[in-house]
Amino acid sequence: MDGLSAEGTTALQGLENGATVSEVSPTTTSVGNRKQGKHKIKIPGFVKRGMKSPKADTNTVDAASPTVLFSFEENLRQKRLCEASQQLIAREDHLFGRGEAREHANGECGESEEDELQRDYEALLVQVWLAVEASLGAGPGERETLRSAALCILQEEEQDRRWQEEPGAELPLWRPRHCRRNHDDLLRKVVEERMDNAEDPNGAEKLATPLKKEICKLGKQVKEDLLKVAREVKACYPEEFGVCKVYAWLYHQAFSGRLAKMAKPDLDINDTSYLLGWVYTYYPKEVLKHKELEKDIDGEALGPLLPEDVLCPLEDQYLSHKESQVKEWMSKALRKEEDEWRGGSLPELIMDQYYFSAIAIDVIQAVDGVLKEAVTILGDISKAQRIICQLETFFISYRRTFEEFMKGKRRNTEAVIKANLASIEQFKEFVEKLGDTLPKDTKKNCQSILSSMEDIAYGYFSNIIHENLKTQYRQLGTAAWLSGGFQAVDELERHIQDCQELKPTCKQELVSRIHTQVMVEYVKRLMKRKLKLKDREQQEAAASLLCEDSRRLRTVFTDAGSEEVWLHEILPKIAEVLKLQDPGAIQLEVVTLARDYPDLSKDHISALLHLKSNLSSAQIKRINQSLVENRGSVGSLGTHSFFSSIHVKWTTKIM
């Protein structure tokens, strides 16, 4: 570059107390008035007396070499700025009697020599600042000049320091130069100019609003320039410059200032989303964490791109909009579903196997989509909690609508319930998947609402089955049962087979629930004390019948897919108590039964032993007392609750 461009002149404004390089010529003639009217030009010094100068260029010639010597003008012309700086520093030391040169100086220097030295410094600094100004657009040759300029700046900084440490020295009027500070100020102006003149990147026309285009343009400029610094400019600077960090800080400030001006409260929601996306995601991840930049840039040290007082209103605007959006989508999905229910429509039959409702998919996709967008935009899933907390309100409305529909008797009621059982299952899985994203109380409430809906829906089908089995249930624990066993097994199997068009996992859950309910009803009827087993023969017959009923029930529920396999052992263990005759053996078996079923109470034991008429009340009391005494010592192996569902009456009469 042969001269200072118009842009370069602008960039150099204010380098030293607000003046340009052309404004720094001397204005006094008196040596005694050197420090007035003279402009202080700042260039760092790097090489100490008696130390080897840093090697900045392969063409650098050692000043001490007797073979080849370049003049200052020749070094300047060839852009060997580091060597030119060394020559001026040597002249300065000699002229002002600093260090070793002091012994040979008479304390005064000619004004013409001082003026000439100052003019040479000015000429050198012009070339240094031109090299720095052009650094982001420099070619290979210009980068070599920049490399020399960077060393020159360090040399001038070192010379400033050495003068400040010189006791009683009268500094040249241009010292200290503060070349490093002026270098950083120039870079700031270069960065601002490049940001002001940033060009639209490819594809910017696809962005819908001017603000989006502007943000994208600035963000891409930051990224491209920082990559250029890392790939090309960094190699031109000594490591102690930390030039990547300097550029990162300057671009961070420039980008931040421009975004802050755009971040107005009345922004369109799409513009707000795009701006927040750059602040929280694109800038930190695609720029600062770029694989070529993250080793040289400390993103944490840069701080947030926008201050909290600017970000908070934007976040609130975005979250409020998404909150309302999710509410509307969920309400719309529920209204659509309810209209189909009440219109008598049958749900979709998936693969001719089970009924299916789209409400869960519609709601989950809406919430999950907004959640993922919010995480992308805001960079933190915890900030999106207020959006997904709307699920609780939706589930309350969903349950109320579902319960009201079930009260009516419509031809599509069973099909709708079956379809919604699949949806409830999907909702439960989604809530569980959200994990800690949902606040604990909200998650607990959502799970409770969905569980209550399941109970209502499964109860609809199980109640029909139990209603049809009432007659057979009444015979349990009676003489009729003792003579023929549980006659409901075949009918129970038929009812279970009728539970078709349910999602397989839902059918399995329904069968498991019916399994538990049938076993509870069986044992409850047995403990109503309607049957008296007077002797060993009757007791063994009853025990045999219990085992046979258990076997048949086990077959039915196992074939149907029940997961409650632990229920298979209950009737055989009760049968063992009925079969035993020795009070001591009975006592031991009762303790074992209590170990396996921790919710077995003495009331249950009393009702069970009351079937054995040959046991006296005193013996029953002793067995119960033994249970109380031994329960703590034998521990508990069982984890299932069963007997707590069986309420025993009239136990006081037994005791």
Spell out the domain ranges in the chain.
Answer: 6-193, 198-306, 311-462, 487-654
Residue 102 has pLDDT above 80, yes or no: no
pLDDT band, residue 21 (cuts 50/70/90): very low
Alpha helices in 435-484 (DSSP H): 440-468, 470-475, 479-484
pLDDT value for 39:
36
pLDDT value for 108:
52
pLDDT value for 12:
33
Residue 145 has pLDDT above 80, yes or no: yes
Any idea what DSSP says for residue 49?
A: T
Any idea what DSSP says for residue 615?
A: S
Residue 323 has pLDDT above 90, yes or no: yes
Mean pLDDT of the chain: 84
pLDDT band, residue 204 (cuts 50/70/90): low
**pLDDT tens-digit profile of 459-505?**
999 999 999 999 999 988 888 888 888 888 889 999 888 888 999 99
Angle between helices 111-133 and 140-165 (to 10 degrees): 140
Angle between helices 210-228 and 269-277 (to 10 degrees): 10
pLDDT band, residue 650 (cuts 50/70/90): low
* Contact in structure between 591 and 630 (CB atoms under 8 Å): yes
pLDDT value for 635:
55
pLDDT value for 110:
53
Q: Higher confidence at residue 518 or residue 436?
A: 518
Average pLDDT over residues 600-628: 88
Average pLDDT over residues 429-435: 94
pLDDT value for 100:
53
**pLDDT tens-digit profile of 280-299?**
999 999 999 999 999 999 98
pLDDT band, residue 638 (cuts 50/70/90): low
* CATH number for the segment(s) 487-654: 1.10.357
**pLDDT tens-digit profile of 49-95?**
333 334 334 344 444 545 457 888 888 888 889 899 888 888 888 88
pLDDT value for 74:
86
Give me the percent of the chain exceeding a pLDDT of 70: 85
pLDDT value for 634:
55
Residue 28 has pLDDT above 70, yes or no: no
Q: Higher confidence at residue 155 or residue 207?
A: 155
pLDDT value for 182:
94
pLDDT value for 63:
47
Do the two domains 311-462 and 487-654 of this chain adopt the same fold? yes
Give me the percent of the chain exceeding a pLDDT of 90: 55
Average pLDDT over residues 324-334: 96
- Which of 18-22, 427-431, 497-501, 507-511 comes out lowest in average pLDDT? 18-22
Residue 229 has pLDDT above 90, yes or no: yes
501: which strand partners? 354
pLDDT band, residue 40 (cuts 50/70/90): very low
**Four-residue CA torsion sign, 597, 601, 607, 609:** positive
Report domain 311-462's class. Answer: mainly alpha
pLDDT value for 558:
95
Closest Cα partner for 134 from 5, 304, 268, 281? 5
Q: Which two tokens stand for residue 414?
A: 């069973």
pLDDT value for 531:
85
Any idea what DSSP says for residue 230?
A: I
pLDDT value for 170:
75
Residue 34 has pLDDT above 60, yes or no: no
**pLDDT tens-digit profile of 359-377?**
999 999 999 999 999 988 9
pLDDT value for 382:
86
pLDDT value for 409:
84
For residue 512, give every residue at least 6 positions away whose Cβ sits within 8 Å of its Cβ, in sequence order, or none: 561, 562, 563, 564
Neighbouring C-beta atoms of residue 52, cutoff 10 Å: 9
Average pLDDT over residues 557-575: 94
Average pLDDT over residues 593-620: 89
**pLDDT tens-digit profile of 104-123?**
444 455 568 888 888 999 99
Enter the pTM of the model: 0.73
**pLDDT tens-digit profile of 156-197?**
998 888 888 877 767 788 888 899 999 999 999 999 999 999
Angle between helices 179-196 and 210-228 (to 10 degrees): 140
- Cis amide bond preceding 176, omega within 30: yes
147/124 Cα distance (integer angstroms): 14
Average pLDDT over residues 513-541: 92
Residue 530 has pLDDT above 50, yes or no: yes
pLDDT value for 111:
63
pLDDT value for 632:
63
Q: Higher confidence at residue 351 or residue 578?
A: 578
pLDDT value for 93:
84
Provide long-range contacts, Cβ within 8 A and 24+ apart, for 397-401. Answer: 397/331, 397/334, 398/334, 398/359, 398/449, 398/453, 399/449, 399/452, 399/453, 401/334, 401/338
Any idea what DSSP says for residue 174?
A: T
